[in-house]
Amino acid sequence: MSLYDAMFSQYGVKIAQVLVTKADFYNEETRRNLISTLSELISLNIVPIINTNDAVSPPPQVDEPIGAKPGKRGISLKDNDSLAAMLAAEVQSDLLILMSDVDGIYNKPPWEPGARFLHTFSSEQRQTIEFGQKSKVGTGGMDSKVNSAIWALDRGVSVVICNGMAKEAIKTILSGRKIGTFFTDSAVVGAVPTEIIAENARIGGRLLQTLTPDQRALCVHTLADLLVSKQSQILDANQKDLQEASSSGVAKPLLSRLSLTPSKLKNLAHGLKQIADSSHKNVGRVLRRTRLAEGLELKQITVPIGVLLVIFESRPDSLPQVAALAIASGNGLLLKGGKEAAHSNRALMELVKESLATIGATDAISLISTREEIADLLTMEQHIDLIIPRGSSDLVRSIQQQSQHIPVLGHAEGICHVFVDKDADLKKALKIIRDAKCDYPAACNAMETLLIHEDLMNTNFFMDVCDMLKKEGVKINSGPILNQMLTFAPRVAKSLKHEYGSLECCIEVVKGIDEAIDHIHNYGSGHTDVIVTENNNRAEDFQKKVDSACVFHNASSRFADGFRFGLGAEVGISTARIHARGPVGVEGLLTTKWVLDGVDHAAADFSEEGGRQWIHESLPVN
């Protein structure tokens, strides 16, 4: 207790020792006194440390049978595990954590060959487990812990057995991460542990990498054909999602993203065929060849990144697009879609599995169904090489914060600008603005802020823009400069750095191209920015100076898209400054490795005594 007191006092926490005897749990009055004592201590912010009073020897008791209907009798208090289980049941705890010197429960002693860790455990599995000797650091062995855990579970207490030596084990469990073994009151039939799914993706990806480009292309072509031939079952599943979304009051823009149509599926299939037809340029492409010395040739070639985790919201058409890109690039893939598209995603995943079966790589791509599985995967840097979130800025930020060791590729916001220069063709400008804002306002490449050269405020252009936007149902906010210029201006925007994602935008006035560029750098997100002008020199200057992933001249920001770029599809749009930027297609899912071919070369051969000479001659890659 002195040790406990010294440890807790560092955090300003008071503790108290509560000694109990076995008889305290079998007498109604003493049970009430015990619960009252514990409740009072906790209400005073005092942590009770409960121990058995070994000085008192009560009469022997008989255990309630494991799995029996809970009654008045308890479990024999033989060790700390049974004491903890009894206390947890008495005070109606939400969670009981039993700590061991191993990570949790294995199907056999963990030091034996072939031992497999169990993330979940049910009473039905009790007879299939082989337990080893008692713990080296406690009075109860794993057998005792399991009996106690099942007993507590039968009485409504959630139980986790974990490694007490693991860093921040309790905090990690309470945050929802999967560590240790979680006890459930029913067997999870057919459930595959998350790490097994991830490892299968690794194995499947390596298989994809060894296939010929034609084999990978054929697999993607098969998927494209299935989208058309099995259109009816896809649309039936999608209709279920739309009905459930409508009944729950989902907004119309989100319903549009959720909806699949014959036209969408046809375009989707066309995009997948584009990916397939260009796949021969991807994996194994030689980027550089160098003759280092006589008989010593070095090549840099493209290879898959490894295993991708792609998390997307709402749009079920993302699933086959991303799957096709992963197949073409030879990457393993784990997908997590939004729950609002659950029926559609399952139907589409069946087609992905069917196409993968033609090349014997069924497990290379899998669909993850729960948030809990995502929380697990975000900690599996040994299994996942790259995370790509596709969706709202909240989703992307959340993933970036949770993933501490796995790189995240994506964009947190899509704050896109259209700058109308004083030399713009104003008819063109109206057309581009309408498309950039109104074609698909929920998209990340939609215009959020319109910048107008101050000279155009002396023309009818501003009123023409406002009239056009109002007819389209767009709500207009003004920037601070525009607000000062007008007597009756629209309401002032709360922030110039805001992604509306709807039929709403901000209009601001700038003095010229330099001020427009400064505004974009200060308030933009590095996604897509546009200049509308007939002055080609000014357009070139804008495109050179604006530091965004996509910079357009006289074209809508809506062109920032993998399909429209001719990539077939995109796995996402990246505003990162390393690896890939803008719409990320197959090439963005590749990295490189160096391949060296020699004869009998050793580094010592190139010393003065060795006699060999460096050449470093660049060779053609073809």
The 10s digit of each residue's pLDDT in 22-48 is 777 777 888 888 888 988 998 999 999
- Using CA atoms of 71, 75, 81, 85 in order, give the dihedral in degrees to the nearest 10: 10
What is the C-alpha to C-alpha distance for residues 537 and 33, in angstroms, rounded to an integer?
86
Residues in the chain: 622
Instruction: Identify the helix (H) or strand (E) that includes residue 594.
Output: strand 590-597
What is the C-alpha to C-alpha distance for residues 368 and 237, in angstroms, rounded to an integer?
18
Q: Which residue has the higher pLDDT, 538 or 134?
A: 538
Q: Which residue has the higher pLDDT, 567 or 464?
A: 464
What is the C-alpha to C-alpha distance for residues 384 and 573, in angstroms, rounded to an integer?
20
Q: What is the pLDDT of residue 593?
A: 96
Sign of the alpha-carbon torsion through 367, 371, 373, 378: positive
Sign of the alpha-carbon torsion through 390, 393, 395, 401: positive
**CA 267 distance to own-chain centroid:** 27
- The DSSP annotation for 545-558 comes to H--SSEEEESS-GG
DSSP 8-state secondary structure symbol assigned to residue 307: E
Q: Is residue 116's pLDDT more than 80?
A: no
Q: Is residue 56's pLDDT more than 60?
A: no
Mean pLDDT of 616-622: 92
* Percent of the chain scoring above 90 in pLDDT: 55
The 10s digit of each residue's pLDDT in 150-182 is 888 888 898 999 998 888 889 888 877 778 888
Collect all residues with Cβ–Cβ distance below 8 Å to 530 and sequence separation of at least 6: 416, 417, 418, 419, 432, 436, 447, 551, 552, 553, 555, 556, 557
CATH class of 194-402: alpha beta
Numbers of helices and strands, H then E, in the chain: 19, 24
Q: What is the pLDDT of residue 238?
A: 95
* Percent of the chain scoring above 70 in pLDDT: 91
Q: Where are the alpha helices (DSSP H) in 91-181?
A: 142-153, 169-174
pTM above 0.75, yes or no: no
DSSP 8-state secondary structure symbol assigned to residue 505: E
2-98+108-116+123-155 has CATH 2.10.10.90 classification: no
Q: Listing from the earlier edge strand, what are the strands of the sheet with 386-390?
A: 365-368, 332-336, 307-312, 386-390
| CATH classification number, 416-584, choose in 2.70.98.40, 3.20.20.70, 3.40.309.10, 3.30.565.10 | 3.40.309.10
What is the C-alpha to C-alpha distance for residues 145 and 100, in angstroms, rounded to an integer?
9
Which of 548, 544, 510 has its CA nearest to residue 422?
A: 510
- 116 burial (CB, 10 Å; 0-12 / 13-18 / 19+) is exposed
Under a CB-based contact definition with an 8 Å cutoff, are residues 346 and 241 in contact?
Answer: no
Q: Is residue 554's pLDDT more than 50?
A: yes
Per-domain residue ranges of the chain: 2-98+108-116+123-155, 194-402, 416-584
Best mean pLDDT range from 51-65, 142-156, 450-464: 450-464
Under a CB-based contact definition with an 8 Å cutoff, are residues 227 and 320 in contact?
Answer: yes
Q: Which residue has the higher pLDDT, 490 or 537?
A: 537
Q: What is the pLDDT of residue 137?
A: 44
The 10s digit of each residue's pLDDT in 322-373 is 999 999 999 999 999 888 899 999 999 999 999 999 999 999 999 987 766 7
Q: What is the pLDDT of residue 610?
A: 80
Mean pLDDT of 402-406: 83
- 620 burial (CB, 10 Å; 0-12 / 13-18 / 19+) is exposed
Helices 262-277, 231-247: crossing angle, 10 deg rounding: 120
- Region of poorest pLDDT, from 152-161, 484-493, 591-600: 484-493
Pairing of strands 307-312, 181-183: unpaired
Best mean pLDDT range from 40-49, 62-71, 488-497: 40-49
Mean pLDDT of 563-568: 88
Residue 297 CA neighbour count, 13 Å, CB half: 11
Q: What is the pLDDT of residue 400?
A: 81
Residues of 37-53 as b/e, b for ≥16 C-beta within 10 angstroms? ebeebeeeeeebebebe
